[in-house]
């Protein structure tokens, strides 16, 4: 669904030619797409509270291309456990993601908590593609977003919510138009919180040097007492909380809060760790 995605005037890693130029086996689907496989499982385990207080925290391990079969599993450690382990794997057993899921407001440690702590304890000495970013940097503070079923989500997400619902393998009734939910409106699938927080991110000033190609490494979505509703307006507040570097990427962690414009209550937080391929920026210094 992101084959036509563009930002910075060029295509993304979800385009076949762009993916091939980076040595990838194919154009991957977006990592948060897998979150929709966990919603039905976690709703069975935790009931309605999952949709208002759920937290899903995942590290993406292996890229998946369209048409590959993926299986999601949830493992409960024992009676009374407040958190569960989540895993996703391809048909041949190749791991796709691993993480944790829990229901708040009092959550146990999430899968990303130690990963973020490590990033904070070992900041990179020098960045070249992300050198214009800094820890503590915030967005403009005046961003809002409202998503209806047929709204155009822009060049970053060239599809509508209706298009997405047509493609989810196991859509829940509460996602659909006219759904009779305890909150008075249809709710957004948890994977769509990634779309809400990133659709307008280019206006936030969190920019890498261009042309360069990015990817998602880790994501945590946390609901704070209510689901995110279709047709409701939310204010978006962003902050860069850490920077990082690996052999192939430079990266940054962003915490984004969605606040219901009608109630002025924070509704959800999305913690996203995204990287930029060093090889994708023509000006990157030769490490040799």
Q: Any idea which residue has 């993916």 for tokens?
A: 19
**Is the pLDDT score of 29 beyond 50?**
yes
pLDDT band at 288 (very low <50, low <70, confident <90, very high): very low
Give the model's confidence band at 73: pLDDT under 50 very low, under 70 low, under 90 confident, else very high.
very high
Tokens 């691993």 label which residue?
98
Cβ neighbours, 10 Å, residue 134: 11
Greater confidence (259 vs 65) lies with: 259
| pTM of the predicted structure, to 2 decimals | 0.90
Beta bridge partners of 249: 277
The residue among 60, 67, 69 whose CA lies nearest residue 26 is 67
Write down the pLDDT at residue 11: 55
Domain ranges of the chain: 6-280
Specify the pLDDT at position 63: 87
Digit-coded pLDDT (tens) for 207-264:
888 787 888 999 999 999 999 999 999 999 999 999 999 999 999 999 999 999 999 9
Task: Give Cβ neighbours of residue 124 (< 8 Å, ≥ 6 apart).
Answer: 243, 244, 245, 250
Strands 10-11 and 143-146: unpaired
The whole-angstrom separation of Cα 285 and Cα 288 is 9
- 243 φ, ψ (degrees, to nearest 5): -125, 155
Whole-angstrom distance, CA of residue 217 vs CA of residue 245: 12
pLDDT of 203 > 80? The answer is no
Q: What is the pLDDT of residues 155-194, one digit of tens each?
A: 777 788 999 999 888 889 999 999 999 999 999 999 999 9
**Which of 262, 254, 198, 197 is closest to 226 using CA atoms?**
262
pLDDT for res 242: 98
Give the model's pLDDT for residue 282.
87
pLDDT tens-place string over residues 101-158? 999 999 999 999 999 999 999 999 999 999 999 999 999 888 999 999 999 877 777 7
Using omega within 30 degrees of 0 as the cis cutoff, is the peptide bond preceding 211 cis?
yes
User: Could you tell me which residue, 236 or 16, shows the higher pLDDT?
Assistant: 236
Task: With a cut of 60, say whether residue 58 has pLDDT above it.
Answer: yes
> So what's the pLDDT on residue 14?
47
CA distance 259 to 268: 7
- Whether the Cβ atoms of residue 213 and residue 6 lie closer than 8 Å to each other: no
pLDDT for residue 23: 60
Identify the CATH class of 6-280.
alpha beta
């Amino acid at each position: 669904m992101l084959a036509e995605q563009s930002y910075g005037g060029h295509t993304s890693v979800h385009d076949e030619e762009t993916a091939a130029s980076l040595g990838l086996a194919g154009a991957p689907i977006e990592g948060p797409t897998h979150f929709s496989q966990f919603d039905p499982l976690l709703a069975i385990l935790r009931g309605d509270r999952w949709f208002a207080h759920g937290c899903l925290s995942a590290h993406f391990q292996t890229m998946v291309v369209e048409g590959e079969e993926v299986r999601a599993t949830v493992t409960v450690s024992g009676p009374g456990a407040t958190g569960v382990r989540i895993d996703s794997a391809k048909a041949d057993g190749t791991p796709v993601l691993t993480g944790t899921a829990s229901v708040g407001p009092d959550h146990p440690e999430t899968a990303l908590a130690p990963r973020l702590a490590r990033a904070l304890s070992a900041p990179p000495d020098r960045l070249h593609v992300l050198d214009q970013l800094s820890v503590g940097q915030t967005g403009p503070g005046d961003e809002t977003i409202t998503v209806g079923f047929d709204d155009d989500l822009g060049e970053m997400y060239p599809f509508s919510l209706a298009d997405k619902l047509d493609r989810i393998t196991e859509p829940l009734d509460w996602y659909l138009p006219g759904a009779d939910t305890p909150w008075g409106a249809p709710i957004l699938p948890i994977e769509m919180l990634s779309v809400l927080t990133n659709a307008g991110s280019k206006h936030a000033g969190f920019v890498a040097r261009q042309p360069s190609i990015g990817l998602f490494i880790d994501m945590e979505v946390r609901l704070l007492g209510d689901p995110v509703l279709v047709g409701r307006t939310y204010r978006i507040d962003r902050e860069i909380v850490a920077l990082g570097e690996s052999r192939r990427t430079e990266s940054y962690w962003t915490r984004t809060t969605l606040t219901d414009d009608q109630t002025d209550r924070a509704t959800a937080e999305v913690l996203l760790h995204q990287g930029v391929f060093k090889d994708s920026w023509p000006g990157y210094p030769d490490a040799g």
